[in-house]
């Protein structure tokens, strides 16, 4: 591998100028910076992360704490954060919080204290007081994503409002017999998303003076298979069928679509279905959904933590995350 001295000779500048030009720190003329970059590219020179860390006191690495790696939502948000951080010259280190209490404790007690990261992003992790204190004790920028934490800068989305918007869409179309899939207690996890979305569903019904029907509430596990099984129970021919379904996630909504197809029920002619999240398969299935833009959530989390690292104003971290109703072809007025 080429050395910094070789880059300096080829560019006709000092090694100090090479260091400033490639690190982005310090004054370097545009002409000199371009010569350095061209020389580094020609020689295949890459700045040593270890040397850069020693010189700047930074690792150029951001730790990202996630609860799950095998679910679409978390992997999409992680992709957004990773891309934004990499464009800014940062690596990421993943810390997967599992259901094992010992593993979770080890992340906060040991891994994050090794001084290998410059900042931390906690995705959809409801931190207790002790864990929050441990993060703050690191003296590093910390951004939480997915729910409120009064002691941390957080990017949060209003799950209740999103569910209310999805249900209001069905009500405005004229539906009154509306079923809900979701809110199984064992799947509450952090920030109680299923309960918040059920609350939004119930609020929309109450505002429209529609009595909630317990027979139209089906628990599920936020998967396609779970949505399929729940919808099959709701659409059983032995009971009056709902004219619409609000599924508390797009994956469950897709499962409901497949269940309707299996039962010969036409969507949206016989049944309207709306989801929530903005799943990448939503467009393929032409699913009406409330999109919360998970890729952009990851990008905004990265932007917020980078702003703190650079000592810039951090207005992004104080703002609520956006969402939007995307109307496609799985919803329509009920048949007369």
pLDDT tens figures, 158-195 = 999 999 999 999 999 999 999 999 976 666 665 578 88
Indicate whether 292 pLDDT > 80: yes
pLDDT of 228 > 90? The answer is yes
Residue 145: inside a domain, yes or no?
A: yes
Let me know whether 182 and 287 are in one domain: yes
Helix, strand or coil, per DSSP, at residue 275: strand
Give yes or no: residues 106 and 148 share one domain.
yes
Query: Of 324, 229, 330, 219, nearest to 274 (Cα)?
Result: 330
Does the pLDDT at position 322 exceed 70? yes
Q: Both 94 and 173 in a single domain? A: no
Q: Is residue 119 part of a domain?
A: yes
**193/139 same-domain check:** no
CATH number, residue 37: 1.10.260.40
In a domain, 312, yes or no: yes
Same domain, 269 and 178: yes
Residue 332 lies in a domain: no
Average pLDDT over residues 203-230: 94
Mean pLDDT of the region 201-223 = 94
Return the sign of the alpha-carbon dihedral for residues 259, 263, 269, 270: negative
For residues 36 and 277, the model is more confident at 277
- Are 172 and 239 contained in the same domain? yes
- Choose one of 291, 308, 328: the last residue of a domain: 291
Please check the confidence at residue 137 and state whether its pLDDT lies above 50: yes
Q: Do 116 and 238 fall into the same domain?
A: no
**What is the overall mean pLDDT for the chain?**
86
| DSSP line for 12-52 | TS-HHHHHHHHHT-S---HHHHHHHHHHHHHHT----HHHH
- Look at 279 and 103; give whichever has higher pLDDT: 279
Proportion of the chain above pLDDT 70, given as a percent: 89
Find the mean pLDDT for residues 11-24: 79
| Whether 188 and 209 share a structural domain | yes
| 327 in any annotated domain | no
DSSP 207: H
> What's the domain count of the chain?
3
Domain annotation covers residue 84: yes
Distance between CA 275 and CA 326 in Å, rounded? 10
Residue 329 lies in a domain: no
Q: Give the model's pLDDT for residue 244.
A: 98
Greater pLDDT, 273 or 11: 273
Which tens digit of pLDDT belongs to each residue from 61-120?
899 988 877 788 888 999 999 999 998 889 998 888 877 788 888 887 787 777 688 999
Q: Tally the C-alpha atoms within 13 A of residue 137's C-alpha that lie toward its C-beta.
A: 12
Q: For residue 334, is it within any domain?
A: no
User: Bigger pLDDT: 243 or 31?
Assistant: 243
103 and 250 in a common domain: no
Interacting residues of 124 by C-beta distance below 8 A, sequence separation 6+: 66, 67, 74, 145, 146, 147, 190, 191
- Looking at residue 287, what is its pLDDT? 98
Q: What is the pTM of this model?
A: 0.80
pLDDT at 21: 79
Examine the pLDDT at 318 and tell me if it is beyond 70. no
Asked if the model's pLDDT at residue 278 lies above 60, the reply is yes
Of 56, 71, 89, the domain-final residue: 56
Range of the domain at 270: 159-291
Q: What is the pLDDT of residue 186?
A: 63
Shared-domain flag, residues 185 and 216: yes
Domain containing 66 — which CATH number? 3.40.50.2300
Check pLDDT > 50 for residue 55.
no
pLDDT at 316: 47
* Same structural domain, 163 and 128: no
Same domain, 9 and 92: no
């Amino acid at each position: 591998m080429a050395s910094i001295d070789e880059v300096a000779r080829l560019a006709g500048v000092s090694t100090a100028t090479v260091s400033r030009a490639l690190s982005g720190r310090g004054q370097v003329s545009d002409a000199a910076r371009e010569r350095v970059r061209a020389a580094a590219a020609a020689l295949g020179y890459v700045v040593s992360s270890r040397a850069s860390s020693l010189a700047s006191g930074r690792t150029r690495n951001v730790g990202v704490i996630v609860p799950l790696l095998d679910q679409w939502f978390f992997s999409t948000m992680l992709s957004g954060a990773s891309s934004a951080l990499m464009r800014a010259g940062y690596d990421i280190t993943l810390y997967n919080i599992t259901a094992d209490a010992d593993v979770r404790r080890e992340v906060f007690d040991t891994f994050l204290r090794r001084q290998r990261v410059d900042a931390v992003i906690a995705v959809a992790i409801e931190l207790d007081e002790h864990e929050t204190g441990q993060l703050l004790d690191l003296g590093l920028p910390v951004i939480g994503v997915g729910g409120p934490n009064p002691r941390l800068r957080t990017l949060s989305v209003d799950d209740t409002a999103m569910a209310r918007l999805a249900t209001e869409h069905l009500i405005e179309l004229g539906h009154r017999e509306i079923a809900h899939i979701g809110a199984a207690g064992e799947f509450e996890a952090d920030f109680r998303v299923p309960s918040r979305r059920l609350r939004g569903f119930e609020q929309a019904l109450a505002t429209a003076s529609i009595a909630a029907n317990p027979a139209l509430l089906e628990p599920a596990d936020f998967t396609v298979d779970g949505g399929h099984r729940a919808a099959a129970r709701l659409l059983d021919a032995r009971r009056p069928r709902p004219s619409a379904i609000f599924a508390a996630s797009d994956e469950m909504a897709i499962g409901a679509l497949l269940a309707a197809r299996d039962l010969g029920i036409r969507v949206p002619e016989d049944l309207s279905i709306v989801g929530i999240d903005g799943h990448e398969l939503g467009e393929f299935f032409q699913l009406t959904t409330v999109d919360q833009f998970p890729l952009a959530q990851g990008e905004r989390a990265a932007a917020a933590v980078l702003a703190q690292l650079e000592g810039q104003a951090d207005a992004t971290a104080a703002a609520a995350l956006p969402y939007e109703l995307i109307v496609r072809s799985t919803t329509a007025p009920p048949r007369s």
